[in-house]
Structure 1
Amino acid sequence: MTDATESSRTDGAETFLQTTRTSYDAIAKDYAAQFPAGGWHPLDRTLISAFAELVTERGKAPVADLGSGPGHVTGLLDGLGVPAFGVDLSPAMVALARDTYPQLRFHVGSMTSLDLPDATLGGILALYSTIHVPDAHLPTVCAEFQRTLQPGGHALLAFQTSEAPGQMHLPERFGHEIDLDYYWRTPEQITAVLEEAGLELVATVRREPAGEEKRARAFVLARRPDDGT
């Protein structure tokens, strides 16, 4: 890889990270009000509970909720006995989460470069947080999942999906000017990138839109293989 190519990718990462951070800082309070704690679809809650059981049966290694937003899913994991902490790109979101769940740990960070040691996480949860990551940077994110997971650790991703890949740009939300790109991917796309990073597929689930949802939801559960497997 040439220095010019590497520089271009770095610049691209900084651009989408900055626009995503600024956008969620602007809408943090409205977003938290729109999506309160406990508003999960029953199937979503069941899958999160299954994930919690998988990671706790292997021990008490910490679990990272990546893209933790106002902290509700981190709080749910904590209630299920998971030693969870939250990471979010938006300082405003992190501040909200700390206010709402003062007993839990939240910090500002990026999935593209996790400030975490190798092989220390029992699990990773990324619910609707990879949807803002451009295709070019998704392999880096999945490689970070593989790097930070312990052997045997699980990662659960959730995202809006469609029959074919797509992209949408949103310039406004909740009356605020923003600059957000959304990427719709199929479970097969996500699985391929996870496997390329060294993780193995455990399960995929797809459910149709419910209530005011406009797109189907997909869940992909993967794991880092045990040592020697």
Structure 2
Amino acid sequence: MREDQDETRAAYDGVVELYASLFADRLETQPFARNMIATFAELVRGTGHPRAADVGCGPGHLTAMLAESGLEATGFDLSPGMVAHARRAHPALRFHEARMEALPVGDGALGGVLAHYSMIHTPPDELPGVLAEQVRVLAPGGVLMVSFFGTGGTQPVRFDHKVTPAYAWPPDRFAELLAGAGLDPFARLLHDPASERGYLDTHLLARRPRLPE
């Protein structure tokens, strides 16, 4: 495990209960994000592959939302503390400790992958490998949704996140990474600043191309 992953895991293990109390109901006041995730779930159902992964699931609230939307949702997180909390909070669902670049999922097994602000701590040079893993587990036609802090310019910006250092990305640059990983970006939503720094809440949808008939 990389040093930055050790730091991220330790940082989130140290704020499990506080993080869960702050974010478990947050989407109730974020209609754009809530509806974007609902759109993602609808698109995944339409693939005919209802299995979905919530990577970086934290306390499991979005895994539960995906399950309520009719998906066979499983949560994965680097933090054992977060996984333990998610299992207690949502005992009917499955949660596993895992790294985003090494998911315990078979090739092409999923109709969807949700990465809601879970790639923000990944150093830019490591991100292509993380995205390649999401492509591996997606079935042809499967959908990836990535949410992150959006910024201007042409390069990612490192900043001091409240838990552990993170990166804000220009949406066009992130979309290029998705395309470079073999995905087809097809929709995006940018809305009100997600922080006092003025970064925009940014959501990108991309699809793994279907195999030629």
Which bracket does the TM-score occupy, shorter chain normalised?
Answer: over 0.9
1:22 pairs with 2:22: no
Report the alpha carbon displacement of residue 37 of structure 1 after superposing the two structures with TM.
2.7
Report the alpha carbon displacement of residue 58 of structure 1 after superposing the two structures with TM.
2.0
Partner of 1:8: none
Deviations along 1:4-57, whole A, 9 cap, x unmatched?
Answer: xxxxxxxxx611111110110001111111112353410111111111111112
Q: Is the 8 A contact 2:149 2:194 kept in 1?
A: no
Partner of 1:4: none
Alpha-carbon distance in 2 for matches of 1:79, 1:37 = 15
Which has the higher mean CA deviation after the structures are superposed, 159-168 or 105-114? Answer: 159-168
Q: List aligned pairs for 1:82-93, cutoff 5 A.
A: 82-93=71-82
Alpha-carbon distance in 2 for matches of 1:29, 1:219 = 26
* RMSD of aligned Cα (Å): 1.8
Partner of 1:6: none
Q: List aligned pairs for 1:78-227, cutoff 5 A.
A: 78-164=67-153, 165-170=156-161, 173=162, 180-209=164-193, 214-227=198-211
Q: Is the 8 A contact 2:50 2:110 kept in 1?
A: yes
Displaced runs of 4 or more, over 4 A: 210-214
Which has the higher mean CA deviation after the structures are superposed, 161-170 or 139-148? Answer: 161-170
**SS in structure 2 of the partner of residue 65 of structure 1:** strand
Structure with the greater alpha carbon radius of gyration? 1
Report the alpha carbon displacement of residue 162 of structure 1 after superposing the two structures with TM.
1.3
Q: 1:195 to 1:16 in 2, by over 3 A?
A: same
**SS in structure 2 of the partner of residue 208 of structure 1:** strand
Report the alpha carbon displacement of residue 209 of structure 1 after superposing the two structures with TM.
2.0
1:55 pairs with 2:60: no
Q: Is the 8 A contact 1:60 1:83 kept in 2?
A: no
Per the normalisation by structure 2, the TM-score is 0.93
Which has the higher mean CA deviation after the structures are superposed, 32-41 or 203-212? Answer: 203-212
Q: Is the 8 A contact 1:61 1:120 kept in 2?
A: no
Letter of the structure 2 residue corresponding to residue 205 of structure 1: L
Aligned-pair identity in percent equals 39
Report the alpha carbon displacement of residue 214 of structure 1 after superposing the two structures with TM.
4.7
Q: Is the 8 A contact 1:194 1:222 kept in 2?
A: yes
Q: 1:39 to 1:197 in 2, by over 3 A?
A: closer
Which has the higher mean CA deviation after the structures are superposed, 192-201 or 53-62? Answer: 53-62
Corresponding residue pairs, total: 210
Report the alpha carbon displacement of residue 213 of structure 1 after superposing the two structures with TM.
8.3
Per the normalisation by structure 1, the TM-score is 0.87
Alpha-carbon distance in 1 for matches of 2:86, 2:67 = 13
